[in-house]
Structures are given as structure tokens and as C-alpha cells.
Amino acid sequence: MVTLAEVAQHAGVSASTVSYVLSGKRSISATTRLRVEQSIRELGYHPNAGARALASSKSNIVALMIPLRTDMYVPVMMEIAIAVATTARTHGYDVLLLTGEEGPDAVRRVTGSGLADAMILMDVQLDDERLPLLRGTDQPSVLIGLPADTSGLTCVDLDWNATGALCVEHLAKLGHRDVAVIGEAPAVYERHTGFAERTLDGLRSRARELDLRVLHRPCEGGYDAMAATLARVLDERPGTTGFVVQNESAVEPLLALLRQQGRAVPEDVSVVAICPDQVATQASVRLTSVAIPAQEMGRHAVERLVAKLDGRGSDDVVLIAPELTVRASTGPAPTAP
Amino acid sequence: MVTLAEVAQHAGVSASTVSYVLSGKRSISATTRLRVEQSIRELGYHPNAGARALASSKSNIVALMIPLRTDMYVPVMMEIAIAVATTARTHGYDVLLLTGEEGPDAVRRVTGSGLADAMILMDVQLDDERLPLLRGTDQPSVLIGLPADTSGLTCVDLDWNATGALCVEHLAKLGHRDVAVIGEAPAVYERHTGFAERTLDGLRSRARELDLRVLHRPCEGGYDAMAATLARVLDERPGTTGFVVQNESAVEPLLALLRQQGRAVPEDVSVVAICPDQVATQASVRLTSVAIPAQEMGRHAVERLVAKLDGRGSDDVVLIAPELTVRASTGPAPTAP
DNA sequence: ATAGGTTGTCGAAGCGCTTCGACAGCAATC
DNA sequence: GATTGCTGTCGAAGCGCTTCGACAACCTAT
């Protein structure tokens, strides 16, 4: 392993000079800089991460806590993780992957050991047990997702309230009066995951204003679960003509079932999905949808975090405005016979 | 931040004693150990990762390189990543997430800087440009996936050859004579991703032995692409009664299309999928499938890696035997009218 | 009693880097 | 010609830990 000292010797300068060439924290004459850079290249020098971290108290690593469970939005999580990793890299940071498994202990471990300079938390629950720890440390952090109390925290999320409202508005405008919401798996609501509840709140309150009737049913993904859910919905509200689907693994089953029952989309029934664009365009009917901007969320989170690490930036909430794209799964409500 | 020295002072012992309590590398009397452990707890001490890495030349971090692109098996990748992270943790390692973006440079950076003690590579291509670097370093590594030349490398993968063979065997046993393979997106083959080619090889050579006709068509995921592919297949081989689908985002579209064309599954047409069990059980027809054992692969990879780090373990290839589960999407070939 | 082992603890060196203060050299100012 | 102010470089201290050799203290076997 090549060390700083060896580079210094090779270039005929002192170790500190090499360090300053690397960090740019003091001015170095062009000739020395070039000589040092040349030596670095020739020897194939890479600074030792541990030594650097020890001396500077900075690891240049950000931790990313992802959920352990895979009961929702797996591709979204993945896309966020990838966006976080690539964005972090452009700012000179590497990403440490933590699963939810350790829970709050992971936060303690990371802050305590100086393993990472900052953290990004995903899968935030409304009353997340990691939050007190984050508030109690001076290590910067960003949440992807919104807890109930955001004071003293930086959060990035899609504006789920607005998303719910947007979906129901679109259906209202098309004349639908009875709307069913196919939600995430029950477990997601039970653990009070912010986005699911917020979507529903936003949707319901807008529906009230617009005088629509809303029936919400959580739904595990998959064909069988969707079949059972649909049967119950149509039994309870036979006049339902609009669907909002938040569980992406229920989308395709729903379409198949409707088709099978002779209900045409969008002639008889309209469907709005909340899902990544890829899902919306690959479905058997091109879906009118509100996109989940996974990449943007990941990128934003890192950029807020880097800002904080640089001393710029402050605690606040970044809500990304939802956008609804009209495709082929929604149309005017059928006129009563 | 609490340091070792502070713990030592608090416990009335020397720093080295505390260190030995922590590492267990020398025997310590029960009384001192207890006293030290007590102090550690009271002060809330966490060893500093950087200092540790510097002094011991071990970071206790393993790097995981995941593919940047998301054109295949996203949930599988995610599951592997999570399995790697949790398994690594049980062995005292953390996981650094690298995306393919940097390519071979990432390998250089990580080995050069001592950021990680070892690495796991995913999305391995048959002739991967990272391999020479891995062979040229003494840093342990494990590949998830099989390159063309595995000499000097440790690899973990599903036995894709056997997987292909298994699928076609199952169809043959049911009396099907004409089989179509719906493959991954063309790009996957173009970059010579091992698993796709191997599956095909295994399938073709077994088909030859069993005297079946095979038609292979790569296919982007989604409904439209699948529709076009299916039309071409049925045009070229109208007698096709068996399908093997490797692209999980083509499965549901295929089922929908067949249904739409009045071809019943499994009465008229049989479908075998290669996909995670979750996909197979959630599809509109419960799919006969060969499971992709994502968790097992991740776990295995970490365990091989840890073995190497401990000086046990050697270079070799672990192939996981495929298992075919019969569900409702395959049945006897229809007898010719 | 003495030599030879064990066991438990300590002191000190050193891992490779950053960073601070010092200072030589030189140009501009009075 | 002395003073001030830069600029560019160096030496040394120190970050918090691991680890090696030393060595008391005690136990066994002669």
C-alpha cells in the first residue's frame, strides 16, 4: 500500500504539502502541484480512508437506512437507493446500507462510532422511534417520508395529501361520484406509515368538498386478494365507477378482474394509479397515474444532506408536487341507464 | 465523543486493557472485565470506526456493487441486497453500497483506500472488466453470477443451465413439443449477462435431447412489447403450446394476452415462469415456476466472503440447484384435434 | 527454596493522515 | 533600509485505536 509519505518522498516535498495538494486547503505553486500529482499517478496512490477519517473526523460516508420488509414499493425503494448512491458519489460521499433490522440502535451505532457523517432514513413512520435520537444528536440527517412532528427535522417526500386530492379531483371532473380506493396492505396502515395515511386524508377531504363518496379498502397485492377486495367493494357500492389504486401489485390484478367481469376500462370504469411511471406505461391498459418520483426524492435527500454537512441548509420540509398524467385508463363516467 | 482512554480512566485500568476486553484477544480477569463493561455502558462508549480501521487495517465493511440499470429483476436485486446487509451484520460487518456507475474504478478505489475489507459483485457479465482487477488484488471477493472464466474467483449463483433444462423437461413430460422462450430484454443479451445465456443454453441442449422445438425471443417487459412478441411467436410457430418466461415483467401481460385470445391456461397452453415465488403466487394464474432464491444467494455470498476473510474458505463456485414448483399454469399438452 | 509456567495488566509505539503554527523568501510600502 | 504582507512550504503534534513486548504476581513442579 502506497502512503502519503511515500508520495511526498517521491515528489521531493513534505507530507503536508501532498496533503494540501489533495485537499486544496492551502495554495500550492503550480510546479509543486504538478510534480505531486505526477507522483500520485505514478505510484497509484489512494488515501487511506481510515486514517483520513481519524485525522479529520470525517468519514465521507452517509448512511442510508432502508426498510427490511418488502411489502410495498420495492422498485421505488430500489430506485431511491440507487439515486442516493449515485448522487452521493458526485458529492464525494459513499453510502452505507443499513436495514431497518437494528432499529434505533443503528442510529446510535452510526453516530457513536463516526462510521458515517450523516444519515438518510426511509420508511419513516408517523411516530418513528428513531426521531428522538436524531433530534438529540448534531449529526445531520434527512428523512424520506414525513413523520407526524417534523420540528427540527429535514424531510423530503412526495406531497401525498395533494396526490390523493389530485386523483379524486381528476375522477370528479370526469363525472364519477362513487370512488373506491384500493390501498396498501393492512400492515402498512397498522404501522402508521405516513404516506398511506396522508394520501387517504388528502383524498377524503377533497372528496368531501367535491361531494364524492369514497370507500377505502386496504389490499394485499396479488390476484386473489384483489379479487376478494373487489367483490366486497362492488357488493357494498355497486355504483362505483372510479378506482384509485395505491398498491402497485394490485393494479394489474384489478385490470384483469374488471376485464373478466365485462367492465370495460375506461368506458365503464376509470382507474387512477399511484405508481412509478414505468408501471403505468407497462400495464395492460396504459394507466392514468400520479408518478412516484423516486429518483428525484433520492437526489433531493442527498442534496439537502450535503448542504447541511457544508453548513448551509436548514431544517425544513421539501414536498414534491404530484403530477397526474392522463393516459388510457380514465374517461367520463358512464351516464346512468 | 467518549474515547477508549476515558473508559479506561473511569474503570481504573489502562487503555490496552479496555481494548482487550473489547476484542477478547487476551484473557482478562472476570472482575476487570465486568468493571470495564460497566464503564462502557455508563459512558455510552462506541469505538471510533476510523481509528479502529487505521490501527487494525480492517474496516469491518464489505462493499456491494449493484447494477445501476433497472431493466431486470429489480425485486430480486433488492432482496439480495437486503439479505447481504442483514447477513453481513450478523458477522459484524457493515455494507457499503456501490452502483455500477463507476465501473472498474470503484474496485480500485475501494481496494486502494481500504474503505472495505472485501467486496461482493452483482450483475456479472460473462467477460466482466472488473475481473482482472479482482484477480490482481488479494482483497477477498465473491461474485453473485457466473462469468465465463471463473478461475481464481468465488462465485455464487443459481444453476441457470439446470434451470433452463428443468423448465423444458417439465413441459416435455406433459407432452408439449413446441416451446417458446420469452427472454429478457435484448439489451440483457447484448451485454452478455451470464444468467440469461446460460438459461437458454441449458434449455436448448435439454430440448435437443428430448426432441423438442424451441423458439427464443427476447422481450422488453410490458404489455405492448409482449403483445408484439407473442404475435411473432404464434405466427412463426402456430403449434406452440408451451411457454417459458424469464422476464418477470412479461409474465402478467402474457397471461392477459392468452386469455384475451381465448387460449386457456393450462388447458390449451402451459406457462412456466422463472421468477421469485412471490410473483408466481400473485399472478392471475398461480404459476408453475422455478424460484429465484434471492435471499439464499445473498446469504451464501456473505458467508463465503466471511469465510475468506477469516482465512478459511477457498475459491470455488457454489451453484444453487433450481427447484420447480408445479402450480396451476401447466398441464398436459392438448391432443391434436 | 528455586526454576519454570501461566495469567493478567500495562506502557509505548505506531497506523496514515490532517492541520496548526512557524518561517523563509520575496514584493510592495513607507 | 526597515517594515509589513503575502505566498508557499515544512515540521510536529495528534486523531483513537491495536498490538507487541515487558513484567509483576501467582502457581506449580522440582
How many whole angstroms separate alpha carbon B32 and alpha carbon B13?
Answer: 8
Nearest chain B residue (CA) to A68: B82
Do the Cβ atoms of A82 and B70 come within 8 Å? Answer: yes
3-state secondary structure B255-322: HHHHHHCCCCCCCCCEEEEECCHHHHHHCCCCCEEECCCHHHHHHHHHHHHHHHHCCCCCCCEEEECC
Rg over alpha carbons for chain B, rounded to the nearest Å, is: 25
Query: Does residue B266 have a cis peptide bond before it, meaning omega lies within 30 degrees of 0?
Result: yes
Which B positions 288-327 lie with beta carbon below 8 A of chain A?
none
> Smallest CA–CA separation between B321 and chain A, in Å?
25
Verify whether the Cβ–Cβ distance B284 to A86 is below 8 Å.
Answer: no
Q: Which single residue is written with the C-alpha cell 455510552?
A: B44
Cβ neighbours of residue B8 closer than 8 Å, sequence gap 6 or more: B14, B15, B17, B18
Distance CA A250, CA B31 (A): 60
Q: Which residue has the cell 446510535?
A: A108
B253 contacts A222? CB cut-off 8 A: no
Q: Which of B46, B85, B256 sits opposite A97 (nearest CB)?
A: B85
Measured CA distances, A135 to A107, A126, A324, B135 (Å): 11, 15, 35, 46
Top CATH class of A61-158+294-320 equals alpha beta
- Record: contact B223-A98, CB cut-off 8 A: no
Using an 8 Å Cβ cutoff, are A55 and A88 in contact? no
Q: Are B67 and B22 in contact (CB under 8 A)?
A: no
Angle among Cα B323, B327, B332 to the nearest 5 degrees reads: 105
Paired residues of A213 in beta bridges: A178
User: How many angstroms separate the CA atoms of B109 and B102, rounded?
Assistant: 10
Pick the CATH number of B4-47 from 1.10.260.40, 2.30.40.10, 3.40.50.1950, 3.40.50.300: 1.10.260.40
**Can you spell out the DSSP letters for B18-41?**
HHHHHH--S---HHHHHHHHHHHH
Angle, CA of B152, B153 and B154, to the nearest 5° = 135
**B110-155 pLDDT, tens per residue?**
999 999 999 999 989 999 999 999 999 989 999 999 999 999 999 9
In A75-114, the residues whose Cβ lies within 8 Å of chain B are: 75, 77-79, 81-82, 85-86, 89, 94-99, 101-102, 108-109, 112-114
For residues B169 and B322, give the distance between their C-alpha atoms in angstroms, rounded to a whole number.
13
Mutation target for A interface from B1, B3, B22, B46: give the one with most A CBs within 10 A. Answer: B46
For chains A and B, CB pairs below 8 A equal 155
Whole-number distance in Å between A92 CA and C27 C1': 39
Helices B15-23, B4-11: inter-axial angle, 10-degree rounding: 100
**Beta strand pairing call for B288-290 and B324-325:** antiparallel
Burial of B61 per CB tally in 10 Å (0-12, 13-18, 19+): buried
Domain ranges of chain A: 4-47, 61-158+294-320, 160-292
- Chain A residues with CB under 8 Å of B85 CB are 97-99
Geometric angle at alpha carbon A175, from A172 and A176, rounded to 5°: 70
Helix (H/G/I), strand (E/B), else coil: A99: strand
* Contact by Cβ (8 Å): A123, B123: no
Alpha helices in chain B (DSSP H): 4-11, 15-23, 30-43, 49-56, 74-90, 104-113, 131-135, 160-173, 186-190, 194-210, 223-236, 248-260, 277-282, 294-309
B304 Cβ neighbours under 8 A, 6+ residues apart: B142, B154, B156, B313, B318
Collapsed DSSP state (helix, strand, coil) of residue A103: coil
Q: Distances in Å between the alpha carbon of A296 and those of A124, A145, A157?
A: 18, 13, 9
User: CA B218, CA B200: separation in Å to the nearest integer?
Assistant: 11
Sign of the CA dihedral with A184 first, then A186, A189, and A193 last: negative
Say how many residues make up chain A: 337
- Grid cell locating A32: 509543486
Contact A115 B99 (CB under 8 A): no
Dihedral, CA atoms, A133, A138, A140, A145, nearest 10 degrees? Answer: 30
The answer to whether A4-47 and A160-292 have equal CATH topology is no
**Closest CA relative to residue A249, chosen from B79, B38, B249, B8:** B249
Measured CA to CA, the distance from residue B106 to residue B16 in angstroms comes to: 36
Cβ contact B78–A74 (<8 Å): yes
Contact yes or no for A50 and B112 at CB 8 A: no
The answer to whether the CB of B109 falls within 8 A of the CB of A46 is yes
For chain B, which residues score pLDDT lower than 70?
72, 336-337
Rg of chain A over Cα atoms, rounded to whole angstroms, equals 25
Which secondary structure element, helix H or strand E, spans residue B1, and what is its range? none
Q: What is the pLDDT of residue B85?
A: 96
Give Cβ neighbours of residue B233 (< 8 Å, ≥ 6 apart): B180, B215, B217, B240
What is the structure's pLDDT at A314? 84
Question: Considering the domain B160-292 in this protein, what is its CATH number?
Answer: 3.40.50.2300
Residue with cell 445473498: B298
Contact B82 A70 (CB under 8 A): yes
The interface residues of chain B toward chain A in range 109-168, judged by CB-CB distance below 8 A, are: 109, 112-115
Chain B residue numbers with beta carbons less than 8 Å from the beta carbon of A1 are 112, 114
Inform me whether the C-beta atom of residue A15 falls under 8 Å from chain B C-beta atoms. no
**Residues of chain A contacting residue B47, judged by C-beta atoms under 8 Å apart:** 113
Phi, psi (degrees; rounded to nearest 5) at B183: -95, -170
- Find out whether the peptide bond into A266 is cis, omega within 30 degrees of 0: yes
B178-182 and B213-217: which strand pairing? parallel
- State the DSSP H helix or E strand holding residue A323, giving kind and residue range, or none if neither: none
pLDDT in tens, chain A (337 residues): 899 999 999 999 999 999 999 999 999 999 999 999 999 999 999 999 999 999 999 999 999 999 887 766 788 899 999 999 999 999 999 999 999 888 899 999 999 999 999 999 998 999 999 999 999 998 999 999 999 999 999 999 999 999 999 999 999 999 999 999 999 999 999 988 889 999 999 999 999 999 999 999 999 988 889 999 999 999 999 999 999 999 988 998 999 899 889 999 999 999 999 999 988 998 889 999 999 999 999 999 999 999 999 988 788 999 999 999 999 999 999 986 5
Residue A336: the pLDDT is 63
How far, in Å, is the CA of B20 from the C1' of nucleotide C10?
12
- C1' nearest to CA of B56: which nucleotide? D18
pLDDT confidence of residue A194:
87
Distance CA A119, CA A143 (A): 8
Nearest protein residue, CA measured to C1' of C18: A55
CA atoms of A240 and A177, how far apart (whole Å): 8
Question: Which residue, among B268, B321, B270, has the nearest Cα to B293 in the 3D structure?
Answer: B321
